[in-house]
Amino acid sequence: MDKQRSAAVWAAINDRARADGKPVSIDTVCLICAQALRAQGVAVALNGRLPGYEPVCASGSGAYRLMDLHVTLGEGPGLDALAEDRPVLVGDLAEDGTRRRWPMFAPAAVQAGVRAIFAFPLLLGAISVGVLEISRVEAGWLTPQEAADALVFADAALLVQVQVQQVDHPEGAAGEPVELRWGTAERWAEVHQATGMIAIQSRTDLSTAFVRLRAHAFADDRSLLAVARDVVARRLRFEPDFD
């Protein structure tokens, strides 16, 4: 990888963090990536416990919407990048081949105003620990330079995650720990809370409870977060399938 390009990306990330008066965070990485690559949104998800795709941060509401579609519909470039441990690059979500590959996600993403999405796995050795997603409102591909920069941003997101784990577990860190924070996951925390409540209400396990939450969101054509908030606020209750 071009050392000059990598240095330029990190300089932009560090400059923004200093301007904000905060430590470098995953939010900083997403924001600078969106600016550098002319993206509508940039998001990062981790290889989570329940859906295998746990949203962590996004550069805007549009990026959050795409993450919600991945989880609610159970398909999309981000999930494939995680499962296949390789970049999944989609220049036009409206193409017939793309719609055949993701029959639910592709039209929903286009309806949400997204035409191109580029998903890069965060690889720690042979293990995918997450994914960086870059979305655009217009169809088209990344240039070779933009693709190279996207790989640097994916490495930056991975490094932030590794350093956060070192801060959380300093006994495993080499040298002085770096004060970083792994973004904000308040929105996804509501999904976890709702899943737990559904498990209790319906007398089932967490995996089944999450499937029921996702199915309800899909059937009502609502976001997963909106349905989760109804559950947490006790406006929606899930009864057992049988007594």
The whole-number average pLDDT for the span 189-200 is 86
Decide if 243 is inside a domain: no
- Tell me the per-residue pLDDT of 134-181, one tens digit each, with 9 for 90 and over: 999 999 999 999 999 999 999 999 888 766 554 444 443 333 333 333
pTM recorded for the entire structure: 0.79
Query: Within this chain, do residues 148 and 197 fall inside the same structural domain, yes or no?
Result: no
Q: Are 123 and 158 in contact (CB under 8 A)?
A: yes
Of 182 and 124, the structure prediction assigns the larger pLDDT to 124
DSSP letter at 181 equals: B
Of 188 and 54, the structure prediction assigns the larger pLDDT to 54
Report the pLDDT value the prediction gives residue 177, as an integer from 0 to 100: 31
Sign of the alpha-carbon dihedral angle for 182, 13, 167, 123:
positive
Query: Within this chain, do residues 148 and 200 fall inside the same structural domain, yes or no?
Result: no
Look-up: residue for tokens 């929903």?
A: 108
Report the pLDDT value the prediction gives residue 129, as an integer from 0 to 100: 86
Query: Within this chain, do residues 190 and 144 fall inside the same structural domain, yes or no?
Result: no
- Tell me the per-residue pLDDT of 203-235, one tens digit each, with 9 for 90 and over: 888 888 888 998 999 899 888 888 999 999 999
- Tell me the per-residue pLDDT of 42-62, one tens digit each, with 9 for 90 and over: 999 988 666 678 888 888 778
Buried/exposed 136-154: b ≥16 CB within 10 Å, e otherwise? beeeeebeeebbebbbbbb
- Tell me the per-residue pLDDT of 89-145, one tens digit each, with 9 for 90 and over: 999 999 999 999 999 999 999 999 999 999 999 987 777 889 999 999 999 999 999
> Alpha helix (H) ranges present in the chain?
3-20, 26-36, 61-73, 77-84, 96-101, 105-111, 144-168, 186-202, 206-219, 224-232
Query: Within this chain, do residues 121 and 215 fall inside the same structural domain, yes or no?
Result: no
Decide if 193 is inside a domain: yes
Query: Within this chain, do residues 190 and 168 fall inside the same structural domain, yes or no?
Result: no
Query: Within this chain, do residues 90 and 126 fall inside the same structural domain, yes or no?
Result: yes
Decide if 109 is inside a domain: yes
Report the pLDDT value the prediction gives residue 218, as an integer from 0 to 100: 87
Query: Within this chain, do residues 168 and 198 fall inside the same structural domain, yes or no?
Result: no
Decide if 179 is inside a domain: no
- Give the domain extent around 101: 3-172
Residue 64's pLDDT band (cuts 50, 70, 90): confident
Decide if 29 is inside a domain: yes
Residue 184's pLDDT band (cuts 50, 70, 90): very low
Query: Within this chain, do residues 125 and 207 fall inside the same structural domain, yes or no?
Result: no
Query: Within this chain, do residues 218 and 103 fall inside the same structural domain, yes or no?
Result: no
- Where does a domain end: 127, 147, 172? 172
Looking at the structure of the chain, the number of domains it has is: 2
Using CA atoms, how far apart are residues 10 and 6, in angstroms rounded to an integer?
6
Decide if 164 is inside a domain: yes
Decide if 178 is inside a domain: no
Query: Within this chain, do residues 60 and 153 fall inside the same structural domain, yes or no?
Result: yes
Angle at alpha carbon of residue 133, lines to 173 and 140, rounded to 5° = 145
